[in-house]
Chain A
Amino acid sequence: MTTTITRTPKRVSKARADRREPERSSGRRLLTRAPSWGVYIMLWAFVLLIVYPLFWMVAASLKTNAEMFSQAWALPRYLQWGNWAQAWQLGVGQYVLNSVIVTVSSIIGVIVLGAWAAYALARFRYPLRTPLLYLIIGGLMLSPQVALIPLFRLLSTLQLYNTLGALIVLDIAFRLPFTVFLMRAYMLGLPYDLEEAAYIDGASHWQVFWHIIVPLSRPIMLSAALLQAFFSWNEFLFALTFIQDSALKTLPVGLLDMQSRLLTNWPVLLAGLSIAALPMIALFIVGQRWFVRGLAEGMGK
């Protein structure tokens, strides 16, 4: 069976090509001919498979309860935004607030502590450096499940049980290994010139950190912050185990609570789900580039 390769003149604007793929060669044009229809259909079918349930979730949340049961497939007659308001009042508003507090605090914590640790591991030489590096990175192998029960005792002793502080501290602690790993790799790649110049001018390590390293590390810090946001906002195990008060629950746990309270008022529950999902979807679409980069750099080693 022979295959014929035809040279299809597929034109992509040069500016875009140069920006996106510097090592573009003519071979690319060979392989960017339109794929078979089967492949197209498969790809779009998959898009449908992914998007439809989400679309349905939002559409159904805008129906009345009666519509929901009688015509599950049809679009809502009138958009019942009231469902969303009701979901917000029934607890989602509080859950969002708690989630925001935990997420923002843990982002700040992990970025600052992570950057400090990465700085110490990337820019100084001392005997303990390697063991400490392995100590921090080794944390990657230890999972939250295994730590759960002892943490229960530990947090009770520290009086942190049933506080948002517990979630913040745990989110930071369990994400530090990955974040430090990411930032250290990045910092190792930074050139020394600026720092050397600064030291010659008599700068202290503290100044070098805040005025040189941090600004230069903005891209990786942004990536790390985004990854932390997704982790914290969606974190479930610790939020479930260590928070008892309804008023303190974060979204993932609060929504479960709502499910048992709203037994058959499904549109309102779906509204709550939509409110929980949309920020992260929006954040991802906007911060995609950084997110992918962070993931790629972390996984690439």
Chain B
Amino acid sequence: MQITMQNIMQKRPTLVPLMYLLPAVLLVVAFVYYPVVNNLWLSLFRWSAFSPQDIWVGLGNYRALLKDPVFWTALRDNVAYVVVSLVFQVGGALVLAAILEEAFVRRFRVFFRTVYFLPTVISMTVVGLLFTFLYDPQMGLIDQLLTLTGHASWVRAWLGDERTAIWAIIAMSQWQSIGYIALLFVVAMQRIPRELYEAAAMDGANRIRIFFRITIPLVREMTLLASIITISGAFMVFNEVMVTTQGGPNNASQVLATWMYQSAFMNDQMGYASAIATIIFLISFGIAVVQLWVGRSGQTVGTA
């Protein structure tokens, strides 16, 4: 029989590919799947890190969750995160990418793209601590700049003030991530056939028109992807808050993930924390499902 890849692929004993798959599958099942499932179970108990006994409480943790003001603050902060991020990270990055893609000779584009992306590769701790300096009321650059330009009345402890803490953190997050999303859009825009722009330009369309009528519709898929990434990132945010305010002052800047962490490892309420984690899971799982559903029904517009 002729040796072809079809034959090879089919005639090998199943054991062979399974052997190659085993380590990866083991790791993923043991450390990713099992804990997530286990978490659902653990949220039905009240337990602490030190006590050997798990006390069954059923949905008690979830009931407590609904009555917990910090939980609602955290949820609100996450939603604020989502809204602002969608506007600046996705919207802003879209505009940025469009400008980069259409206006410049390639040479410069790579420079700008690289610079804008730099904050993304830096650890969140570095960004967080750096911004802690920038936001400092005494010697931080932000407040100094405000004083210099005559807006001394606006000076405040950005991260220390309950009303501004989470917004300051959100702003920092935009700084770090806009380059990343812009890069994704640049990649998507590079797939748009040049002829479309040509034709539009010849028909006398100006840049704004081209942006709204050609660019935006054709990066619809990437816009969806970028939105999903941004929304899930905003619901799972942890590092940014942990490094700067740890959720304070007075829990004003808590987000779901930091509240979960605090409940588990500082307040020693493991079951309760598991319940919060389950909420995070349901939200992110819901988002993933939406993504699959929309991705399936909205097939790519074929290149005409």
Contact = CB atoms under 8 A, between A and B. Distances in A.
Interface size bracket, B side: 35 or more
A135 B130 CA distance: 40
Interface in A169-183: 169-170, 172-174, 176-177, 180
Interface stretch (B36-44, B67-75, B159-167): B36-44
B151 to A, nearest CB: 17
A101 interface: no
Interface stretch (B57-65, B81-89, B199-207): B199-207
Interface in A138-193: 139-143, 145-154, 169-170, 172-174, 176-177, 180, 192
B216 interface: no
A285 B115 CA distance: 9
A236 B99 contact: no
Given A25-B198, A151-B35, A255-B129, A145 B30 contact: no
B115 A51 contact: yes
Contacts of A128: 14, 18
B123 A241 contact: no
Contacts of B239: 236-237, 252
Most chain A CB inside 10 Å of its own CB: which residue of B31, B179, B277: B31
B17 A126 contact: yes
Contact of B105 (A12, A43, A283): A12
A80 to B, nearest CB: 17
B168 interface: no
Contact of A139 (B32, B184, B285): B32
Nearest to B128: A256
A269 interface: yes
B234 interface: no
A120 interface: yes
B243 interface: yes
B251 interface: no
A47 B33 contact: no
B123 A280 contact: yes
B225 interface: yes
A177 B24 CA distance: 9
A281 B118 contact: yes
A196 B3 contact: yes
Contacts of B80: none
Contacts of A121: 17, 21
Interface in B94-131: 96, 99-100, 102-106, 110, 112, 114-119, 121-126, 129-131
A141 B286 CA distance: 10
Nearest to A119: B20
Contact of A256 (B184, B243, B284): B243
Contacts of A145: 236, 238, 257, 260, 277, 280
B43 to A, nearest CB: 9
Nearest to B233: A143
Contacts of A81: none
Contacts of A127: 14
A281 B122 contact: yes
A46 B23 contact: no
Interface in A1-40: 1-3, 5, 10, 12, 16, 20-21, 23-28, 30-32, 35, 39
Given A73-B144, A129-B17, A273 B130 contact: yes
Nearest to B196: A27
Contacts of B103: 31-32, 35, 39
A292 to B, nearest CB: 7
Given A196-B5, A237-B239, A280-B121, A292 B183 contact: yes
A63 to B, nearest CB: 12
A72 B141 contact: yes
A125 interface: yes
Nearest to B140: A72
Nearest to B271: A149
B201 A132 contact: no
The residue among B49, B277, B280 with the most chain A CB atoms within 10 A of its own CB is: B277
A255 B242 CA distance: 13
A136 interface: yes
B59 to A, nearest CB: 18
Q: Which of B17, B112, B115, B141 has the most CB of A within 10 A?
A: B17
A76 B225 CA distance: 44
B153 to A, nearest CB: 20
B187 A292 contact: yes
Contacts of A116: 20-21, 23-24
Nearest to B102: A31
Contact of A3 (B184, B205, B257): B205
Contact of B30 (A31, A73, A173, A292): A173
Contacts of B20: 116-117, 119-120, 209
A192 B6 CA distance: 10
Contacts of A60: 133
9 contacts: A30-B197, A47-B116, A50-B119, A54-B119, A60-B133, A139-B28, A139-B33, A146-B284, A209-B20
- A-B complex: 3 closest residue pairs judged by Cβ atoms: A27-B198, A147-B35, A120-B17
